[in-house]
């Protein structure tokens, strides 16, 4: 590693694949000549606690501000003006002449021996990439400069995970008064034409009485105190215009966030839990059922979709899971395939949680039998079964699942029949290849859970919203008291806010607050060609659980 003539680069596995550092198959790799010590796993540096920690820190170093600040220098050496000529000589960046593009014309060499010799030299020394740039590559903006530019824009929201100490809660009333709000989500791929750029996104809400709401949502306006604008759907408070999800639902089914999935463009709602064992597709524009798919033999208990909106997975009391293709027309979801593309088996009891990642080819299901089973999406092939560790003899259920972008699998387990909360609920983290990484016991009953980036957001029956680090499962900040049981949690697409649905129908919007000097009642703003005071369209009342309970 200290030899200046050695120009090897680290292979990609150093930044994403911890398993390559372990001799998991226990191959006999021989012994060291001097100490006679057996060659086994790669010996890690002292700063790495485990192969996973080594890879994590390696990737963090690669994505660090230092690397970003010097990235242009690497580009200059490999693809730029320092690859050839005097600049290359000055930078000590000169290699064997045969490695450069165009240095040798193999077709012009008639002598077979000479040709094979040159080919051997190229094979031995490698090939230098094409020279793409003749001028120095510009320096990348520093993080500080990026933040400064963002702060000057009117439409760039703050990332809440970068300001965890500055979070504030605001509440919105009148969506479903005194009826639990079981779903609140801002779909992430909403399209806007050139004419409607800057117009609000759609926020979809579902109440426990099946009332549907499609509200306006603007995540950022630096001129108002709470940064966001919420425009309530007028149909939710008018009995003549209210839109309801068609029922009835099966007896004994609790309407929870896991029974509903909103398409990524915000136009369709997929729902389970119906009495006829169907998955129903509801148009949020028309407020009517546009599809009904009956393939399960018992009630559908949970639904989930992938990051791209390509597939939907359903779990059922019949112990099976089904993977469905989301049909597209003109790039917009229009419904589900008439039959599932995969039927997944393996559980011996009701499936109560599912997650899917088309990119990683993972379909994950959790059951009341205490197991998590992973199949492939494309072939429906069984991969592995995970049994989260448990010291109790009581039955264990897998109530919530989530898969991160990198394939980390987060599992929430609950001991059925345990009277006290102590040691009843536990979070478990697994690698993409099923290795158990860590566990964390919880003091509250989890009601909903989601993963966003490197963070886990959890809502509880005891009325707390907590944010945890994905890799250690430790709390990033003190849990936020919501006073009432939390029924749903979701993170907006910009990672600017957490949307929290409460048991009394309130919508809590958690984000980065702003000093109170700037009040919306003092500001007017053009919205769709009319001048309205912001107080008419944005609820900026800060949520204070202590005051609410008095």
Q: Where residue 193 falls among pLDDT bands split at 50, 70, 90?
A: low
Q: 12-125 adopts what CATH topology?
A: Neurobeachin; Chain: A, domain 1 (1.10.1540)
What does the longest C-alpha to C-alpha distance in the chain come to?
95
Partners of 292 in beta bridges: 280
Q: Is 14 exposed, middle or buried (0-12, 13-18, 19+ CB in 10 A)?
A: middle
Verdict on whether the full-model pTM lies above 0.75? yes
Q: 167-181, 343-357, 505-519, 522-536: which range is least confident on average?
A: 522-536
Q: Where residue 166 falls among pLDDT bands split at 50, 70, 90?
A: confident
d(CA 464, CA 311): 32
- Rg of the chain taking only CA atoms, in angstroms: 28
pLDDT value of position 518? 30
Report DSSP state, residue 302.
E
Q: With beta carbons less than 8 A apart as the criterion, state whether 497 and 509 touch.
A: yes
Q: Where residue 531 falls among pLDDT bands split at 50, 70, 90?
A: very low
Enter the tokens of residue 378.
């494309």
3-state secondary structure 103-140: CCCHHHCCCHHHHHHHHHHHHHHCCCCCCCCCCCCCCC
Domain boundaries, the chain: 12-125, 156-163+171-209+211-244+492-550
d(CA 278, CA 76): 59
Q: Which of 354, 352, 364 is nearest to 318 (CA)?
A: 352
pLDDT value of position 119? 84
Euclidean distance between the first and the last CA atom of the chain, given in angstroms as a whole number? 66
Asked, as a colleague might, if the bond just before 248 is cis with ω within 30 of 0, I would say yes
pLDDT value of position 517? 31
Average pLDDT for residues 436-452, to the nearest whole number? 95
Q: What is the pLDDT of residues 479-495, one digit of tens each?
A: 999 989 999 999 998 89
Q: 75-79, 356-360, 513-517: which range is least confident on average?
A: 513-517
pLDDT at 238 over 80: yes
Count CA atoms within 13 Å of residue 13 on its CB side. 8
pLDDT value of position 223? 64
- Count Cβ neighbours within 10 Å for each residue of 486-504 and write b for 16 or more, e otherwise: bbbbbbbbbbbbbbbbbbb
Q: What is the pLDDT of residues 372-399, one digit of tens each?
A: 999 999 999 999 999 999 988 889 999 9
CB atoms within 10 A of CB 90: 10
pLDDT at 437 over 50: yes
Average pLDDT for residues 326-337, to the nearest whole number? 92
pLDDT value of position 200? 86
pLDDT at 35 over 60: yes
């Amino acid at each position: 590693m200290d030899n200046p003539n050695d120009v090897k680069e680290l292979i990609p596995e150093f930044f994403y694949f911890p398993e390559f550092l372990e001799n998991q198959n226990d191959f006999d790799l021989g012994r060291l000549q001097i100490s006679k010590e057996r060659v086994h796993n790669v010996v890690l540096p002292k700063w790495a606690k485990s192969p996973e920690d080594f890879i994590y820190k390696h990737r963090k170093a690669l994505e660090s501000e230092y690397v970003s600040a010097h990235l242009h220098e690497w580009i200059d050496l490999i693809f730029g003006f320092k690859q050839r000529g005097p600049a290359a000589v000055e930078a000590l960046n000169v290699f064997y002449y045969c490695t450069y593009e165009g240095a040798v014309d193999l077709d012009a060499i008639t002598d077979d021996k000479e040709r094979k010799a040159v080919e051997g030299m190229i094979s031995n020394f490698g090939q230098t990439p094409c020279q793409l740039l003749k001028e120095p590559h510009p320096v990348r903006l520093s993080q500080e400069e990026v933040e400064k530019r963002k702060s000057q824009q009117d439409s760039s929201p703050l990332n809440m995970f970068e300001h965890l100490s500055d979070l504030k809660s605001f509440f919105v009333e009148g969506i479903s008064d005194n009826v639990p709000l079981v779903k609140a989500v801002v779909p992430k791929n909403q399209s806007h034409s050139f004419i409607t750029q800057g117009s609000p996104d759609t926020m979809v809400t579902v109440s426990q009485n099946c009332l549907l709401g499609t509200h306006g949502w603007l995540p950022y306006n630096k001129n108002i105190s709470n940064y966001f604008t919420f425009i309530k759907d007028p149909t939710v408070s008018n009995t003549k215009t209210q839109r309801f999800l068609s029922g009835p639902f099966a007896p004994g089914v609790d309407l929870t966030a896991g029974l509903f999935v909103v398409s990524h463009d915000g136009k369709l709602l997929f729902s389970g839990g119906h009495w006829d064992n169907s998955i129903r597709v509801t148009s949020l524009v028309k407020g009517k059922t546009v599809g009904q798919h009956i393939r399960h033999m018992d009630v559908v208990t949970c639904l989930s979709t992938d990051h791209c909106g390509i597939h939907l997975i359903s779990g059922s009391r019949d112990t099976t899971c089904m993977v469905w293709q989301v049909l597209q027309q003109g790039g917009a979801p229009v419904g589900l395939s008439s039959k599932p593309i995969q039927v997944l088996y393996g559980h011996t009891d009701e499936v109560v949680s599912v997650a899917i990642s088309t990119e990683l080819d993972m379909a994950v299901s959790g059951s009341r039998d205490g197991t998590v089973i992973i199949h492939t999406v494309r072939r429906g092939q069984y991969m592995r079964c995970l049994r989260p560790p448990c010291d109790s003899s009581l039955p264990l259920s897998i109530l919530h699942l989530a898969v991160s972008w990198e394939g980390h699998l987060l599992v929430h387990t609950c001991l059925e029949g345990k009277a006290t909360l102590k040691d009843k609920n536990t979070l478990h983290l697994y690698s993409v290849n099923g290795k158990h990484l860590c566990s964390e016991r919880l003091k509250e009953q989890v009601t909903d859970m989601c993963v966003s980036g490197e963070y886990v957001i959890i809502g509880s029956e005891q009325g707390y919203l907590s944010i945890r680090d994905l890799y250690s499962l430790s709390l990033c900040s003190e849990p936020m008291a919501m006073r009432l049981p939390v029924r749903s949690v979701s993170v907006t697409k910009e990672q600017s806010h957490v949307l929290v649905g409460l048991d009394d129908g309130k919508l809590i919007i958690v984000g980065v607050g702003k000093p109170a000097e700037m009040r919306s009642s003092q500001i007017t703003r053009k919205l769709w060609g009319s001048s309205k005071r912001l107080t008419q369209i944005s609820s900026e009342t800060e949520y204070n659980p202590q005051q609410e309970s008095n």
